[in-house]
Structure formats: C-alpha cells, structure tokens
Structure 1
Amino acid sequence: MTAGILSSIHTPADVHALSAQQLRDLCFEIRTTLLDYGRKHGGHIGSNLGVVELTVALHRVFNSPHDRFIFDVSHQSYVHKMLTGRAEAYLDESRFGEVTGFTNPLESEHDSFVLGHTGTSISLACGLAKTRDMQRTATGESAIGNVIAIIGDGSLSSAIAFEGLNNAAEQGGNLIIIVNDNEMSIAEDFGGMYGQLAKLRASDGTAELNLFKAFGLDYRYVEQGNDVDTLVEVLNEVKGIDHPIVVHIHTTKGLGFDDGEESDNGSDGCNQTNPQPHAGKCEANHWQDPEASLGKPLDARKYYGEMAMASLERRFSNEPGLVVISPATPGSNGITRDFRERAGAHYVDTGITEEHAAAFAAGIAKAGGRPVLATSATFFQRTFDQLQQELALNHVPATLLIFGAGISGADNTHSGTFDMTMFANVPDVTCLAPASGEQMLDMLAWATGPSGHGVVAIRMPGEQILALERAADMAFDPLQRAEEHDPAVNIAGACPFARYQIVQPGRDVAILGLGNTMPLAAEITSALAENDEEHAAITATLVDALQYSTMDAELLAMLADGHRLVVTLEDGQLEGGWGEKVTAFYANSSNTKASHVRVLNFGAAKEFTDRVPLGELNERYGLTSETIVSRIRGILSE
C-alpha cells in the first residue's frame, strides 16, 4: 500500500489526481483510519465503513461543491469529511473533536445541510435541483451541477423518503438518488419493502416488482457496492443524466469489523475490542464506543430502559394488548436483543418511522391495547402532528417513554432540551417527570394500567438521577429492581401524580425541582441550611413537582403563605416551559399573597447548542447550586 495517501488529500481535486491503484489503496487506508478512530473516539463507525468505496467514488467522479451531495442522516459522512479537507480530524487524536458527527455547512462548503434526522435527503435534493433548473431556465446557468442524494441504513423506511421519491419522479431533471442497501437499519431493518429490495438483490436488479420503477423513476442496480472501480464506472455513466434515477447499490455495513461469529462478547455477536479486516454486520458496530468506555456501568437511558422493559415483561403473559413499540434505535434505550426475542409479538420495531409508530400506537390503544412507544426526545419531535391529532385528540391510553431528554452536551441535531415545551402544551397529554427509578415504575404501571386516562408521556430519568441512585445504599441491578417493585399507587384511579410532593417543609423560599433537577434542588436546599459567618441558615421547602402538564394550584397557593420566593428548576427550555407557567400562576393570581410571591426560573435558553459540555451549559444557564443559592440569599436579604 502507498503510505500516507489520506493525509495528502485536502480537496476532492486530490482524489481526481490519484491512479486507479492509489484509489484502492486510499479506501484501505480510510477503513483502517475509521477503525482506529472508532476505538479511540467512538462514533457511527459501521455505517461509515460500509460507504468507504462509495464516497471515494463519488468524489472521484463528481466535482463537489459544484455537484451537491446530500447524505441522509449524514452520520455516514465521515469519509466525505476526510476527502474535503478534514482528514486530520480523524488522523490526529488531538484533533478528534474538531468536526461533528454529521454534515455541517459551518465546517465546509462541501456540506449543504446540518442533518441528523432520517429520510430527508431526497426531499432536500429535490429542492436543490428545482432551484438549479429554474435558474438555468432563466439565465442559462446555475451554481449547482449534479444533485446526488445518498440514502440508506434503514432511512428509506421514513415516510418523507417516499414523499421525496414521489415528487422526484414528477419533477424530472437531473437528480441521482443512491440507495445504499446494506440490509440493515441500526438493528435489523423492518417493513415489507425490504423483502422487495431482497428480491432485487437476488435478481441482480431485474425482479418484476420494483418499487422505484413503480414511482416512475429510472433504475440501476450495482451488486458490488464495495468495489471502488465498479462504482466509479457506474457513477461516470449516470453523471449529467437529464432525468431522476435511482442507483441501488448493495454494500456491507461495518465492512472491516470482526463479524464475531465465534465471539461471546455480547448478545449481538460483535467483538468491538478486536475488529478484524472483514465483514462485520451487527447492531453494535452502528455506534462504537471508545475503548475507554468499555466496562463502564450502563448509562441512564439504557439502565432505566431495561428496568421499564423488565417491569412490562412480567405482564406480557396476562395482557395480550400490552405492546412495546420502537421506531428503530432500540438498544440505545435499554430495549436489549434478549428482551426483544423474549417479548415476541409484544415488541414491534417499526423501523425509522416515528410518525407511523405514533399513529400505530393510537390504533392499538383504540382497539383496547396498551401501547408503550419508546424513543428519544429529539425523535419525538417528528411526531408532533400525530401527538396532537391521532393520540391526544382521540383520548387514547398510549404511553410515551421519552429518552435522552434534558440539557446535554449533544450535537445540535440531537438535543433533548425541547421536549417539555412540545408535550406539555398539547391538550389531554399527562406529562410525568420521575425523580427515581421507583417513581418511574409507578408512573409506568399507572400509565399502562386500566385507568381511563388519555396519553401519558414519561420523561425517563437521566444521568443526574442515576448518579444519585448509584450512590445510595440500594439494590442497583435494574432487572432486580423491576422484579421486586410493587406499585405504590392506585393504578386504576385518577392520576396519582397530579399533586406536587413536599419533600421537606420550610419557610421563606420554596425550591421546586422537576424530574432530573431534583438532585440539584436537594443540593440547594442543603446549602441554604448551612450557617456560616456571612449567612444565617435558611430552611427551604423542597418540592418534587412530579409532572409538568398542569399546575398544582392548591399547593402553589399554599406556598404563598409563608414563602416570599419560589424557585423552579427544569432541565429544558425555559421559554414556553414549566417554570414560566408557575410564574404566570402567581402573577395572575387573584389572591393578594400569591400575587406578591416572587418567582425565579432556572432552565435552558432558547438556543441550539453543539457539543458544548454539560458543565459549561449549566454555568451558562445558572443551573448550579452556587449561583442559585447566591440569587436566593440576595433576594431574601432585600
């Protein structure tokens, strides 16, 4: 192999200058780099390993940024970044954090969009191509050349992808849609169309049933999707095409990973610690954690997800209508492969179809079932219409488990900061925020029980709660906790969580914590109680709010008697959030005492943040014990 080719690639023009052999050597070097990067830094490694040859071929044939590439989800854009001046961010360990895990125009002119959600590439490509064609009609030229959408990794199951295919066929003009068929989503792919794709693969693209041709699109099949020479030849043939075409290529996700057939390092059979240079198609290689994280305890979403699933599994044999639904990404939320296999028909992976999953849940609930829809806060954003119409408007008893909610150091496409403003402002949705594993199990038992409620959204506990429980002297195994848990509430009655709970009574100031902020609320309460030379001790009232869909008017009014200050803490966006409603309650109260209560709200600003450390965000938002205690003491001393 010719050494150091990748480090010499600064623009796509450098790829054009390589010989055919150097092109193959470059692919090998990139694959080696990805494996090393994954071990040390982590990331979406499996999806990128599968598109090494495709991405090299794209940059060999086309001329970015004049020709536009739109990578669906864009978690498979690492190779694209390497070839567009960002290779050192993958080669030099000291620079690993310089680029995001998704395309971003702020990084490079070769990235058209910030993308982190699924299925949108074809629609975006249609928009670029439409404007290009309009410009050419008017002036004879455009800054945009070929438009290429690259979609795969299960993204084709998204409804918007089909909307894009339908529009592309009618729109016409140059549009190249590359379907990267790796036979995988994050886990397995699900849906009837994947059987048709299998028939296309088996027939070398000649099967009579062809969903792309059914849309009116031209079509080509490429079996050797990991052969750079073949891909260069095919892409040269479609370059400059005057009508939309689907190029269906068959690739191997995780190519280069150990396939782990004889490994016992996990239920999915993927050995992450010793990847070997051959195919490795397994769920674990979609996202690879760095070696430093191996052996760490479960993170909060997996821990509490496993606890929730174990609690539900106990009931499957007696409750045929109890169904867990995951629109892909099950493993991220503690829905393990073992659980899925044991659950059988009680578990449904709908693929990457959040909108369908929500409407599907509404159908199950309307028929008398008890659906539990589990996904990330950032992905629930896609279901807003179904949340309002199919679920809430129809008053169906569906339970929504919101994972990854709250302020975090995530990238700007996966923030969990905005969920409360969405869920809490839809009528007939009960929004619960547990502050412990036992509270979560109680809430889950009521939400999935016989009570005649409508939609219940449970904001699953985060790392703050997990850290507090980890430090406590208690049984910590999530399965054991679920097995030993008996609901401490009436699961057949009205919502037992509508009233806020006073954890500690006090005077002058009340600290209201919501969900993940309860550990901080307790810390503030303890800090205020300390007596030092400068400050007298303050015995604050500590309140666990439990829910954020309604105000506990009775308790809030009661706090007005003996409390001059009420402080609200939430790990979500302040504007439109829960704390502002507490402020409005007091401001609009006809009760003289209540109207004179001063309220301080602490939470996140309305902004997008990109990989800002959580500690830095908490400092920015004033969500620290020191800042809040100082504010409280200052006000009470006035």
Structure 2
Amino acid sequence: MTAGILDSIHSPADVHALSDRQLDDLCGEIRKTLLSYGHLHGGHIGSNLGVVELTVAMHHVFDSPHDRFVFDVSHQSYVHKMLTGRARAYTDESRFGEVTGFTNPAESEHDSFVLGHTGTSISLACGLAKTRDMQCEVSGHADIGNVIAVIGDGSLSSAIAFEGLNNAAQQGGNLIIIINDNEMSIAEDFGGMYGGLARLRASNGTAEPNIFKAFGLDYRYVEQGNDVHALVEALRGVKDTDHPVVLHVHTVKGLGFEPEGPVEHGSDGCNQTNTQPHAGQCEANHWQNPDVSINKPLDARKYYGEMAMASLEPRFAKEPGLVVISPATPGSNGITRDFRERAGRHYVDTGIAEEHAAAFAAGIAKAGGRPVLATSATFFQRTFDQLQQELSLNRVPATLLIFGAGISGTDNTHSGAFDMPMFANVPDLTCLAPANGTQMLDMLAWATGPSDHGTVAIRMPGERVLALERATDMAYDPIERAADYEPASGLRGACPFTHYEIVKPGRDVAVLGLGNTVPLAAQVIRRLADEHGMDATLATAPQYSSLDDEALTMLAYGHRLVVTVEDGQLDGGWGEKVTAFYANATDRRLSSLRVLNFGASKEFTDRVPVDELCERYGLTCDAIIDRIRRVLSE
C-alpha cells in the first residue's frame, strides 16, 4: 500500500507546513488508506473516516504535544497516529499490528492517556488544564499549551461527560471541547439531548435552548465538518482562547465507506438490502472485519445474544414488564436491528450510560417488571456502585447478561478477565455461568420468571463453548434453536443452579470446570484416562457467587487433589474461594486436601492472542495435566 504525501508526514511539524491544496490531497490519501487498512486488517473504520479532516486540521493549527489532544474513547485516533509518526503501521501490511486501536503513551508522546471507554475526555482535559494554569500562576509558564478534548455526540450521553462540562465552565481558562457530531453512537443516538443537537444542526448553531450555553460555556458551530479549510478557520478562531469553548462540528461517520458484497450475518446495516453500499451514517461501518465481503459465522457474543433475544421475544405480548435494556453497542451482543424494531417499547437503548441503565433496571424491577440489562463485561465495570446499591441492596429481580467475559486477545482497555472478582463479591447477587446454550436459556428463563429472587448475572457463553457446540452440531441457527427450546423442569422457586454437577465420577483427582472452561476440564479428564490411565472425576459449577459446600465436602472423600479451572482473574476469583474452603475447614480430611487453581494472572494485557495467554497462565490441557501429575508424585 502506498500513500504518497502521507509518506512524507513524520510529525505534526510536517502537517503545519502543508499548503491548502496539500491538505486536501492528504485528507484524500488518508481516507483511501483507512479503507484499505480496514479491508485488510479491520478496525474502527467508520469513526475514523468521519474525523479525517478534523484531525488533519487540528494538527495543522495546533502544536502537539505542547498542545494536548484528548480523544474520547480514542477509537477515532487512527488519523492522529498517522500524523504523529506512525503512518507506516497503516500503510505497510507487514506492520499492521504495531499500534493499538486506541491512544497509548507507550507508543508516542503525542498520546496523553490510554483510553478505550467513553465519556472521560472532558474530565481528563480539565485536569490537564487545571495543572497548567496553576503552574503558570507560580512560574509564569507551563509545559502544556492549548488543551483540546475531542468527544463524539454518542459519548455525550455518558454521565461523566456532563460532569466534565459542568466543571469546565466553573474552572475557566483555556479549554477547547470539540463535539464531533456525526448523529450516531455505534447505533443511533438515544436521549432527550439529541433533539437539541438536531435543532442546533438545523439552525446552523443558533437554536435555543443551547445545552452548552446552559452550562455557561462559549459555543461555536461548524456545519461543514468534513471540509478541512472550514475546520482550519474555526480552530484558528478558538486557538489560545482564555476561556472554555465548545466547538460543535457536524461530520459524517464512515464517509467513503462502501464495501462490496453481502453484509456479515448478524451485523446491523442502514435499513438497506445486503447488496447496497453502506456509507455515511451507518451502524455497520463502525467496526470492519477483514474481508467484509466474506460471510462468516457469528461469534459467541452475537450467537448467544441472538438466541437469548429470540427466547424473550415471544413473551413480550403477555409480559408488559419484560424489557431489554442496552446502554448502546447493541449489535455487538446480538441485539439486532430487526429485533429492536419488533420489540418496540420492550427494548430501550439508554445511550452510553451504563450507570443509568443499571439504576433504570432497578426501577423497572421494583415496579414489578423483569428487566434484562445486556452489555460487555468491561462496560459493567462502570456500574459497580449501582450493582451494589440500587440492584443488590434493594434485592430487585433484574437480570444482567454479561457479554465478552473471560480471557481475550483484546486491547488493554477491553479485557473481560476481571468480571468474576467484581460480580461474585457483591452480596445477594446471584452469578451464573452456563456451560452451553441450552443451560443459558434455562438460566435466563428462571431469572426472568416469577420466582422470588434478587438480581441475577448470567455470564454469557464464550468462544470455547460455541466451538464445542458447533463440533457436536448443537449450534445451529440461534433463532431456530431458541424456537426449539423447551425449558427444563424445576425453573421456579429457589435458584436451581446452586449445586455442582458430577458429570463423571472418579477417584484421586477431581477437576472442576466453571462455565466457559467446562470443555477444557472435560478434555483434561479424557486425556488423563486415555494417556495416563487415571480415572479422574469431572465436576461442573454453574455458578460462582457461592460455593457448593456439600459437593466440595463430598470430593474430599476418595480424592487427593481438587483442580479448579476458570477463564478469569485468579486473584479474588472463584478458585481461590474453593482453596480457602478446604484450607479453613476444621475437618482434617478437608484441610489436608491439595488444591490447584488455574486461571488468569492479575494483569492488563494488550492484544495478546488468546492461545498465547492460555500458555502463559497454564490454561492448557498439557499444562494442567503436567501439574496434576507432579503434585500426585510428590
């Protein structure tokens, strides 16, 4: 891939020197580079295509890193990286993996923060500006110049963004808040504030009331947000401002994105047929997989998400309180556009506002409804206070669907490995971990049914489970599978998933698998028998919020070693609790039992392949068997 003028850009200083005509040429080359990169490598393409001109204009007018840019979420920072010495990571296919999909100070001095979650840019910018101003008061100068936060209209629905706006107005001083308004989050925007933004766009920024002025902020509007020259003029007008100012820029997300061929099954489009191009304001261009023209099977998140939604949908007509809630990002979790349209008032997108979504669910449940709140494990982290207070403390019957939980090869801002220590240590929160799709539907049916219980979290099955179900022909079309589903008996009353199941009885060694690790635990048992002549016990745990004392006590008889396997952080996790149960027992038979725990280390990982992480953590069949044999030989 060649890039012409882009090849000559090694730092922002090179962007400063470009003529007006060269700015246009550079924007065109960057857009072509993004499209080619997305086709070959994948990534957040739509958000970056929308800010090509804005980012070029920012680096033409401002002087990074003296002037500080804070990109909210920072999934739209590809262009920024190209202009700050990292262009080859997007133009040279052999170097595609060199940079992350988000800003990262370890890569460049032009990146202030590691960011991958939403809504925090204004608050971070306030902090940078505050320290700069205080340094200036003492010494007359500071290491930081202009401070610029770039936040999308979708991110504005996050509560912390409003907290930042409120603080910015009070703090004063140089602070430039660029609102990148492309009329979308990942899907459409939801919330009352977006009507106000639409009126501002329709009136060229003159409509009242103006939410930003209401905060006490200066306000300016740029309609042509994909015109680099209009943006240069606007940015020059706010550069070196002595007070906080909002620059509201209207852009087109995914500008130029027109993939050929059919759309991947389960993705969400623009209300177009599969053969039409997806360009502009379109959910499907937010994330592009390599070779989008190839139909690929659904990943676990979409597969089990579609199956869950399909099982709930027939109940809507007779259950007015059954409501699915998604704090944005619905398509990632199998909540398809078609489902949303059919669900009507039974589906609510709260925007990127997980804390509100959790408290909202508590209100629905308190009124007698059965809310189902679905989002990523990494996004549930923002709801910890609501998990403890509004949901668990109030013992309301809400159901939480946790997607993307477990060890993954994602970047360091989106790891799902930390969910179990967080959820399992909240009092009165029932945490379930299905080992297959049918068990997931049973858990969902019980959690959303008439039983008297508090909040239930269901850790949705992952890729290892889906792979096993596909290998055994169980993973046919998720919607058909939900239609064929018949609930198990005993799904009313007290939680039917508290006890561990002895799948295969044996002796000497007992291997306990939790949720996604059941396939691995079963593989260990088979190989112990086939290769080492060991008749070991296989047990499965369908929940991780409490221990099955009876089952653990029983395992102490006839076994010398208990092995726990989990695909989450060991520190504070499930396996440690099993170890503590035996270690603290007063019965000598229990306290003398050896226990091995297998799971993830307490660390942030950045784009490390899952297989490599499993090797690192000893979460492989060979590693587990090796440790079992070594302990038994001692």
State if a TM-score over 0.5 links the two structures.
yes
In the alignment, structure 2 segments of 5+ residues that lack a partner are none
The corresponding residue for 1:141 is 141
The corresponding residue for 1:436 is 436
Contact 2:392 2:426 in 1 (8 A): yes
Q: Which runs of structure 2 are paired with 1:185-584 in the superposition (5 Å)?
A: 185-258=185-258, 268-269=269-270, 279-291=279-291, 294-474=294-474, 476-531=476-531, 535=532, 537-584=533-580
SS at match of 1:151: strand
In the alignment, structure 1 segments of 5+ residues that lack a partner are none
SS at match of 1:509: strand
Q: Which runs of structure 2 are paired with 1:27-42 in the superposition (5 Å)?
A: 27-42=27-42
2:591 aligned to which of 592, 595, 612: 595
The change in CA–CA distance for 1:556 and 1:3 in structure 2 (over 3 A counts) is closer
Return the alpha-carbon distance in structure 1 between the equivalents of residues 291 and 575 of structure 2.
40
**CA displacement, residues 374-414 of structure 1 (integer Å, 9 cap, x when unaligned):** 00000000000000000000000000000000001110000
The change in CA–CA distance for 1:367 and 1:464 in structure 2 (over 3 A counts) is same
Shift of 1:262: 12
Return the alpha-carbon distance in structure 2 between the equivalents of residues 261 and 233 of structure 1.
40
**CA displacement, residues 267-322 of structure 1 (integer Å, 9 cap, x when unaligned):** 6248899997x952210000111107831110000000000000000211111100
Which AA in structure 1 matches 2:542? L
Return the alpha-carbon distance in structure 2 between the equivalents of residues 261 and 524 of structure 1.
43
Which AA in structure 2 matches 1:551? L
Shift of 1:474: 3.4
Shift of 1:153: 4.8
The change in CA–CA distance for 1:270 and 1:84 in structure 2 (over 3 A counts) is farther
The change in CA–CA distance for 1:634 and 1:263 in structure 2 (over 3 A counts) is closer
Shift of 1:530: 1.8
SS at match of 1:503: strand
Identity of counterpart residues, as a percentage?
Answer: 77
The yes-or-no answer on 1:181 pairing with 2:181 is yes
Return the alpha-carbon distance in structure 2 between the equivalents of residues 263 and 297 of structure 1.
12
Shift of 1:490: 2.2
Q: Which runs of structure 2 are paired with 1:2-17 in the superposition (5 Å)?
A: 4-17=4-17
Return the alpha-carbon distance in structure 2 between the equivalents of residues 450 and 3 of structure 1.
61
The change in CA–CA distance for 1:95 and 1:517 in structure 2 (over 3 A counts) is same
Contact 1:450 1:491 in 2 (8 A): no
Which AA in structure 2 matches 1:149? A
TM-score, length basis structure 2 = 0.97
SS at match of 1:289: coil
Contact 2:50 2:254 in 1 (8 A): yes
Which AA in structure 2 matches 1:632? I
The corresponding residue for 2:602 is 606
SS at match of 1:530: helix
The yes-or-no answer on 1:55 pairing with 2:51 is no
Shift of 1:208: 1.6
Q: Which runs of structure 2 are paired with 1:147-166 in the superposition (5 Å)?
A: 147-166=147-166
The change in CA–CA distance for 1:508 and 1:312 in structure 2 (over 3 A counts) is same
Which AA in structure 2 matches 1:319? E
Which AA in structure 2 matches 1:49? L
Return the alpha-carbon distance in structure 1 between the equivalents of residues 323 and 272 of structure 2.
31
The corresponding residue for 1:23 is 23
Return the alpha-carbon distance in structure 1 between the equivalents of residues 194 and 338 of structure 2.
23
**CA displacement, residues 564-599 of structure 1 (integer Å, 9 cap, x when unaligned):** 100000000000000000000000111111111100
Shift of 1:477: 1.2
Contact 1:270 1:280 in 2 (8 A): no
Shift of 1:491: 2.5
| Number of matched pairs | 632
The change in CA–CA distance for 1:484 and 1:200 in structure 2 (over 3 A counts) is same
Contact 1:272 1:285 in 2 (8 A): no
Contact 2:261 2:275 in 1 (8 A): no
Larger mean CA deviation between 476-485 and 209-218 belongs to 476-485
Contact 2:301 2:462 in 1 (8 A): yes
